[in-house]
Amino acid sequence: MKLLRRTLPVLIVLLSVAAAAQQATTLNKPQIEERITKLMEQMSLDEKVGQLNQYRSLKDPSDLKPITEGSIGSLMETGADKTNALQRVAMQKSRMKIPILFGHDVIHGFRTIFPIPLAQASSWDPAQVESDSAIAAKEAASAGVRWTFAPMVDIARDPRWGRISEGSGEDPYLGAALAAARVRGFQGTDLSDPNKIAACAKHFAAYGAAEGGRDYNLADVSIKTLRDIYLPPFQAAQLSGVATFMASFNDLNGVPSTANRFLLDETLRKEWRFQGFTVSDWDSVRELMLHSVAATPEEAAYKAIIARTDMDMKGDIYINHLAELVMSAKVPMWIVDDSARRVLRIKFLLGLFDNPYVDPAREKATLLAPDHLAAARTSAQKSIVLLKNDNNLLPLPKTGKRVALIGPLADDKANMLGDWIADGKADDAVTVLAGFREKLGPDAQITHVKGASILGDTPQADIDAAVTAAKNSDVAVLVLGETATMTGEAASRAYLDLPGKQQQLLEAVHATGVPVVLVVMSGRPLTITWAQNNVNAIVYAWFLGTQSGHALADVLFGDVNPSAKLPVTFPRTIGQVPLYYNYLQSGRPNAPKGDTMGYIDETIAPLYPFGFGLSYTTYQYSNLRVANSKLPVNGQTKVLIDIRNTGQRAGDEIAQLFVRVMSGSTSRPVRELRGFRRVTLAPGEIKTVEFTLSGAKLGAHNFEGVYVVDPGAMEVWVGPNSAEGQSAKMELVR
């Protein structure tokens, strides 16, 4: 054991050095470094600090002085004409002719809007997510935007937190796979490709661990949990060559991330060998004063730059105070040089010095291109999770049935796009009603009634109208949920039920006895426990973007068989939160008064477990085998299972592999995801699905933050979700 502790960290360190070398070849190109050096030799201190300054827009659009004086490194403008015009000022009128880097929140699409990230994560399909991101990059780049503040890779275990919608859910393994996919999609292999943009892994770090699920709140996280749960997606982004990182708003273990040397310097720069630059979050350098770690703006500038926040987003703190701090020898010159060099490195890598402008004709041809819309439809189809389907109520027949389409989101364009929609427009969106009409054609018998409001009052007459419509139909499809603005930033909720009178609406329609399909649009898990116990079918649609209505019609009327699986645990009630599948078991899992570490009035069983999702067909898992059940800590083994489509329709199944290490040097989760595979199966078809399990990846961090792989007993499962599956005993050996 001792020997292992000494040798394995070495193994891991070697691995990360190798990966860092790979990173260095991506971002550190000798010809570029030479050009930066030459440029920096001519730059004044003020011009260097200017590169570290970012605004949304010019404060006064008619005053171009901040650009001509070289005091702006980045702006958040979009549009070929606008960015070209501003860029021309920088390239022609400023002394150093350094191009502006235009950045924007291109989170799940630019003009063509894809499903929100949590929905994309439900596809468990890195290739799809990569291609969605590549399209977003292409559209953004055509509009002059060469930097996105994405991917958001924060692990979120608390659905009260509104920003759960912006990430990939609760699991570090899935989160890491999708973080890497998004970086590859945005950046490609060569940032100078005019269709590619620099990515930004955010929010570094543990922003999702906000206490109480309240946005911006402190995160108090052990070093073990930080490294095992919150950091892996960031490290995956770094290993994929991500160009930038954004510091999070929160205080992490007592130090706000923007001034957190452990995060930005020790971990990111020294340990991970990051070569790109870091940016603060919106005004978060100034906010150091509110965190009471800086009494003055000067001190805020000092603490942020020393911790290695390279760029000040919006705050005006660096531009006003940094040069003076250098002049008075409080901040060493080399730090500002290093920060400026990093910003310039990304600008050179993007090819901005050689090609600073974009072609407005290309922008026109790129935005909402037909293949982009087609991809958004596919992506949305893959993001829709079927949660319940009693007696195969779904798919609905395309003819011969009268459909009551009810709910505030049934014909709503703006909300279905979700939060953070860059240059997306509600007008481009296809509503559920429009999708149904197009799918069913002119003879369709669809009665559409709003039924209730999400925010604001719902008169009883609206609910009554919905009940009447349902009574006169063969099936009622209710499209209920949240508004887009109830999710995302500053949108934490203390209740997780359907807002407004939507629950009453649902119950009233259900009471008619007409079969009910509930479609939920939302950016977080909602506690739809009543619905699970009562309605016939439930489809979780999240927010699906521009092609929402088409994708939902494709699934509800059976042209597409749903395959998505939940990337996050659904609680039965808010009192269970935080609830996640990879918990550490207590010593009393079967307490005398309750069940597994539960409550006296509720179990800890979720409403739906992580990884759960149904299909219009059924799958049977059998014959799990482990090629080498004595797995060496530095070796690999294949894990195989047969999956058979036992239903009547072709479908895609996402098989998941979980492990449990039984004799860790620290407590280990009851299950941890270590692999997933999508497999397409025709009716009756059987395929063997193969996973590779590496001993070195079965470790965890101890309380000193050292990665340790502990030999001993372990168990492996392969199944359709985190609560089911076939299992086998294994042993990790030296």
List interacting residues with ligand BGC (CB under 6 A). Answer: 105, 149, 202, 281-282, 489
- Cβ of residue 249: shortest distance to ligand BGC, in angstroms? 6
Q: How far is CA 319 from CA 45, 58, 313, in A?
A: 11, 14, 11
- Cβ of residue 292: shortest distance to ligand BGC, in angstroms? 21
- Cβ of residue 706: shortest distance to ligand BGC, in angstroms? 32
Query: Which residue number, 201 or 673, has a Cβ lying nearer to ligand BGC?
Result: 201
Query: Which residue number, 146 or 501, has a Cβ lying nearer to ligand BGC?
Result: 146
Give phi and psi for 676, each to the nearest 5. Answer: -155, 150
Query: Which residue number, 39 or 106, has a Cβ lying nearer to ligand BGC?
Result: 106
| Contact in structure between 263 and 204 (CB atoms under 8 Å) | yes
Residue nearest to ligand BGC (CB): 149
475-481 and 402-406 strand pairing: parallel
- Cβ of residue 218: shortest distance to ligand BGC, in angstroms? 16
- Cβ of residue 207: shortest distance to ligand BGC, in angstroms? 8
- Cβ of residue 67: shortest distance to ligand BGC, in angstroms? 20
- Cβ of residue 56: shortest distance to ligand BGC, in angstroms? 8
Q: How far apart are the first and last CA of the chain?
A: 9
Beta bridge mates, 518: 478, 538
- Catalytic residue, chosen from 281, 312, 412, 419, is 281
- Cβ of residue 158: shortest distance to ligand BGC, in angstroms? 17
| Contact in structure between 263 and 252 (CB atoms under 8 Å) | yes
Three-state secondary structure call for residue 11: helix
Q: Which residues contact 266 (CB under 8 A, 6 or more apart)?
A: none
Three-state secondary structure call for residue 159: coil
Beta bridge mates, 631: 732
Rounded-to-5 percentages of helix, strand, coil across the chain: 35, 20, 45
Query: Which residue number, 71 or 74, has a Cβ lying nearer to ligand BGC?
Result: 74
For residues 426 and 89, give the distance between their C-alpha atoms in angstroms, rounded to a whole number. Answer: 33
Q: Which residues contact 548 (CB under 8 A, 6 or more apart)?
A: 380, 416, 417, 429, 430, 431, 432, 435, 521, 541
| Contact in structure between 504 and 544 (CB atoms under 8 Å) | no
**281 part of the active site:** yes
For residues 664 and 708, give the distance between their C-alpha atoms in angstroms, rounded to a whole number. Answer: 9
For residues 598 and 393, give the distance between their C-alpha atoms in angstroms, rounded to a whole number. Answer: 34
Query: Which residue number, 250 or 645, has a Cβ lying nearer to ligand BGC?
Result: 250
Query: Which residue number, 281 or 312, has a Cβ lying nearer to ligand BGC?
Result: 281
| Contact in structure between 204 and 247 (CB atoms under 8 Å) | yes
Cα angle 165-167-171, degrees, rounded to a multiple of 5? 115
For residue 338, how far is the Cα from the chain centroid? 30
Query: Which residue number, 251 or 710, has a Cβ lying nearer to ligand BGC?
Result: 251
Task: At 686, list the tokens.
Answer: 């059987």
- Cβ of residue 149: shortest distance to ligand BGC, in angstroms? 3
Task: At 693, list the tokens.
Answer: 């399990």
Amino acid at 281: D
- Cα-trace Rg, the chain: 26
Query: Which residue number, 420 or 608, has a Cβ lying nearer to ligand BGC?
Result: 420
Query: Which residue number, 136 or 716, has a Cβ lying nearer to ligand BGC?
Result: 136
Task: At 655, list the tokens.
Answer: 């098989």
Three-state secondary structure call for residue 138: helix
| Contact in structure between 544 and 432 (CB atoms under 8 Å) | no
Three-state secondary structure call for residue 680: strand
Query: Which residue number, 149 or 540, has a Cβ lying nearer to ligand BGC?
Result: 149
> Is the link from the previous residue into 205 a cis peptide, with omega within 30 of 0?
yes
For residues 194 and 489, give the distance between their C-alpha atoms in angstroms, rounded to a whole number. Answer: 31
For residues 475 and 70, give the distance between their C-alpha atoms in angstroms, rounded to a whole number. Answer: 63
For residues 468 and 613, give the distance between their C-alpha atoms in angstroms, rounded to a whole number. Answer: 32
Query: Which residue number, 315 or 549, has a Cβ lying nearer to ligand BGC?
Result: 315
- Cβ of residue 281: shortest distance to ligand BGC, in angstroms? 5
Q: Which residue has the tokens 């490290």?
A: 235
Give phi and psi for 325, each to the nearest 5. Answer: -65, -35
Cα angle 544-549-551, degrees, rounded to a multiple of 5? 65
For residues 203 and 220, give the distance between their C-alpha atoms in angstroms, rounded to a whole number. Answer: 15
For residues 671 and 296, give the distance between their C-alpha atoms in angstroms, rounded to a whole number. Answer: 47
Query: Which residue number, 161 or 707, has a Cβ lying nearer to ligand BGC?
Result: 161
- Cβ of residue 154: shortest distance to ligand BGC, in angstroms? 10
For residues 681 and 652, give the distance between their C-alpha atoms in angstroms, rounded to a whole number. Answer: 6
| Contact in structure between 520 and 538 (CB atoms under 8 Å) | yes
Query: Which residue number, 144 or 408, has a Cβ lying nearer to ligand BGC?
Result: 144
For residues 441 and 443, give the distance between their C-alpha atoms in angstroms, rounded to a whole number. Answer: 6
- Cβ of residue 283: shortest distance to ligand BGC, in angstroms? 8
Task: At 204, list the tokens.
Answer: 């570094």
Q: Which residue has the tokens 């629950």?
A: 503
- Cβ of residue 418: shortest distance to ligand BGC, in angstroms? 14
- Annotated catalytic residues are 281
